[in-house]
Amino acid sequence: MTNFLITIIGPTAIGKTALSIKLAQHFGCEILSCDSRQFFKEMSIGTAVPNLRELASAPHQFIQNKSIFENYSVGDFEAEALQKLDELFQKNNIQIMVGGSGLYVDAILKGFDDFPEIDLKIREEINTKYDELGIEFLQENLKKLDPEYYSKIETENPQTLQNPQRMKRFVEVCLGTGKPYSSFIGKRKNQRDFTPIIIGLEADREVIYDRINKRVDIMMAEGLLEEAKALYPNKQLNALQTVGYRELFDYFDEKISLDEAIEQIKTNTRRFAKRQMTWFKRTENTKWFDYQNDISQIINIIETTIHNS
């Protein structure tokens, strides 16, 4: 029997959670979250974790199952999620994955490429240089060692240029192998024992932006300020380098006013949504629907796809 992974993608605040629950109820299956910030149990309001009613409406996996104090990479998620899917497919050959983290979606659908082992001395040297010179050291080196990949990140996923962990990895591969990081991408074909059915939700940009602005206001009303204040002593952790928290940390540091912080959360979330759409529009074989589309049409497309496979 063929296994099918219904994968719901789209920008933040467009209604992916609501659709995933309706589909899980229809197909009698579970929901695997691949939102890279909803993994963390200390972060609820700012990551738009499904509420208790939503969590009770269908079984969810990978929601608040980790701590911000754990080192949890996309590679860790890939391994754990594939193992969980193996278990779930034994109960039902249809399962659902949902989330707005494009890298994590790709990890499950396609997997990662093989990279050679890097000498620990090189890693230590890069860490030392980073501690001395900051993120600019990593940016300058990647731009020099792999200009093609640097340009790709700058265009499609610019926030990655501010992510020390990932930038260190790119640079260490370049220095450790003498080859561009991009030369290792796409060399290995990962086998998956399921067929993805990818459903994309979209809307006019103005609609998405309006939904984001309203969601931020709701988050503030629900206590995002207090949640961020509790997390503030650990603001250096990688998990907290996230829109919705960073801006409030700047408020606590008296760099900006609270009104400015809220406005920056809205602006940065809108930018994030734009980058999400750029990423997801490249996802092959996606069936796109307006966010208000009747769910019966989506179910019909999914069932027809399964029937014809």
Phi, psi of 257 (to 5 degrees): -80, 170
Q: Are strands 4-9 and 60-61 parallel, antiparallel or unpaired?
A: unpaired
The length of the chain is 309
Tokens 């605040």 belong to 13
* Residue ranges at the known binding site: 10-17
* Residue ranges at the known binding site for substrate: 12-17
**Residue 220 Cα to chain centre, angstroms:** 22
> From residue 301, how far is each of 19, 99, 265, 277, 291 by CA, in Å?
14, 20, 36, 22, 15
Helices 258-280 & 147-156, crossing angle to 10 degrees?
Answer: 120
Helix (H, G, I), strand (E, B) or coil at 285: coil
Q: Is the dihedral of CA 51, 213, 269, 152 positive or negative?
A: positive
Q: Smallest Cα–Cα separation from 62: which of 28, 86, 91, 85?
A: 85
* Residue ranges at the known binding site for ATP: 10-17
